[in-house]
Amino acid sequence: MKQYGLIGYPLGHSFSGRYFNAKFAAENIDAEYINFEIRNVGEMLGIIRSHPELLGLNVTIPYKEEVIPYMDALSENARRTGAVNVIRIERFRGKTRLTGYNSDLTGFKLSIDSHLDEGHSRALVLGTGGAAKSIFAGLEDLGLIPTYVTRSPASEGMLTYRDLDAGIMETHTVIVNCTPVGMYPEVGYCPDIPYQFLYHRHLLYDLIYNPGETLFLRRGKERGSSIINGLEMLLLQAFETWNILTGSDSAHDSCR
Ligand code: NAP
């Protein structure tokens, strides 16, 4: 039986495990998906050695950047974002070759593309973590000019939450929350942006999918802005993950 899995810490109830095992059962695919909760990224190599049927891994917090030195090759999107969330494992004559990909970038782009129009040219990316890097690259691919917003004293080209005045909010009509602020169970919190400057031209996108409508999105909706949660991105990155791991031509990310 073929095996696929997820590495991260902590894992809890992962979406990927439920999604892929349901897919395998529904489509009569002779495979299983296993969660590997590891405390150290180096444990990944032992798992790959001791599971000879393992053909691919998803990678989640906190290892999306830490796995990179272990890769034999990186896809174009993994190289650009500096983050890997899919590892394809190839085995020949006792040797393994690990290739790192990024399906978050594709999932995000496909999920936001149809919501964009000519009024959306500049974007604010809230947070500077692994997910934010994929979103930043995705927005650039779609022709927008993204700017990071961080809590730390801003590095060159970044803004802090205090910098967000009426002028910046007026021109940056796409705002993507790439922080965990507002995620279950902390549903009473939202990123510290001046919501009073939002209006109907704004598109607010939250990577969080639990709850389906975060306080960030609710406050945008109250101001007449359009809103999107992270569920579609999650599903689209899972489709892309499967296309990558099965070598399908439908995969968007590639390794040249
Ligand atoms: P992360 O690395 O833990 O954090 C992201 C960034 O958020 C941090 O670098 C930090 O940036 C900012 N941040 C953290 N705590 C904050 C706080 N209390 N207040 C304000 N800013 C804070 O997480 P990640 O892996 O990038 O993921 C971010 C979110 O995206 C999570 O909720 C994750 O579940 C979600 N996600 C969703 C999908 C999907 O498919 N829908 C995919 C990937 C991730 P600064 O220090 O620069 O402020």
Q: Read off the CATH number of the domain in which 189 is found.
A: 3.40.50.720
pLDDT at 14: 83
Q: Are residues 45 and 142 both part of a single domain?
A: no
Mark whether 64 is an active-site residue: yes
Q: pLDDT tens digits, residue range 179-213?
A: 999 999 999 999 999 999 999 999 999 999 999 99
Chosen domain end from 102, 133, 153: 102
Average pLDDT over every residue of 119-133:
94
Q: Are residues 118 and 67 both part of a single domain?
A: no
209 CA to centre of own chain: 12
The domain total for the chain is 2
Residue 173 forms part of a structural domain: yes
Residue 58: which H helix or E strand, with range? strand 54-59
Residue 238 forms part of a structural domain: no
Q: Is the dihedral of CA 59, 63, 68, 71 positive or negative?
A: negative
Reply yes or no on whether the pLDDT at 229 is more than 80: yes
147, with CB counted inside 10 A (0-12, 13-18, 19+), is middle
Residue 251 forms part of a structural domain: no
CATH of residue 13: 3.40.50.10860
Count the Cβ atoms, other than its own, within 10 Å of residue 246. Answer: 14
Q: Are residues 131 and 223 both part of a single domain?
A: yes
Q: Are residues 94 and 147 both part of a single domain?
A: no
What is the residue range of 13's domain? 2-102
Q: Are residues 53 and 27 both part of a single domain?
A: yes
208 CA to middle of ligand 1, Å? 9
pLDDT at 149: 97
In 3D space, the residue among 141, 47, 142 whose CA is nearest the CA of residue 96 turns out to be: 47
Which pTM value belongs to this model? 0.94
Residues at CB less than 6 angstroms from ligand 1 = 61, 104, 107, 127-132, 150-152, 178-181, 183, 207-209, 230, 233-234, 237
Q: pLDDT tens digits, residue range 136-162?
A: 999 999 999 999 999 997 688 999 999
Chosen domain end from 70, 102, 134: 102
Residue 247 forms part of a structural domain: no
Residue 94 forms part of a structural domain: yes
Q: Are residues 98 and 109 both part of a single domain?
A: no
